[in-house]
Amino acid sequence: MDSRAKIRIKVGLMEVEYEGDASFLKDGLEDLLSRMADISTKVPAEPEHIVAAPNGGDPSAKSNGYDFSTSTIAAHLEAKTATELAICALAKLELVDGKTGAKRAEILEEMKSAPAYYNTNMSKNLSKSLKTLTKNKRINHGANDCYSLSAEERKSIEAKIADIG
């Protein structure tokens, strides 16, 4: 006779899943629940509801606490070309605004918000820049013509802007 058990317990934001010998349910479960109750007083409570983000981004997206403009990101990444400024604009939209991706028009508007770096020729060349970035695997081109930073690019940018004060 197989005496295996499977149980999942969730207390606040903590969750424990156990699969194994059923004797644990007799001998160790009470101790586990007691410890979880103690720990749960130290863990923040689970939010009751999620409010939509005002910028249209994913409300559960993490903004990392950044509060930078595209100009600031461009300055620290030393952006000199439309391609580099597009990366800075996407970084601002994703890392600061919490968006999970952006359409070409959103990227262009964000690029324009950095007047020291933007020039009108960049608008004409943006589609080409986005294609180049996609081919170089720096950004992803998703459904509905949305673009997002690749995981590697995002990690690289986060490392570069982490110390901006």
DSSP string over 66-124: ----HHHHHHHHT--SHHHHHHHHHHIIIIIT--S-EEHHHHHHHHHT-TTT--THHHH
Give the pLDDT score at 59: 43
Indicate whether this model's pTM tops 0.75.
no
Question: What is the pLDDT averaged over residues 111-118?
Answer: 94
Positions of CATH 1.10.10.10 in the chain: 70-161
CA–CA separation, 96 and 106 (whole Å): 14
CB-CB neighbours of 44 under 10 Å: 8
Note whether 112 and 122 are within 8 A (CB): no
CB-CB neighbours of 91 under 10 Å: 25
CA–CA separation, 93 and 21 (whole Å): 49
Between residues 61 and 138, the one the model is more confident about: 138
Q: Kindly report, residue by residue over 28-53, the tens digit of the pLDDT.
A: 777 777 777 777 666 555 444 333 34
Question: What is the pLDDT averaged over residues 100-112?
Answer: 94
CATH label, 70-161, candidates 3.20.20.70, 1.10.10.10, 2.60.40.1180, 1.10.760.10: 1.10.10.10
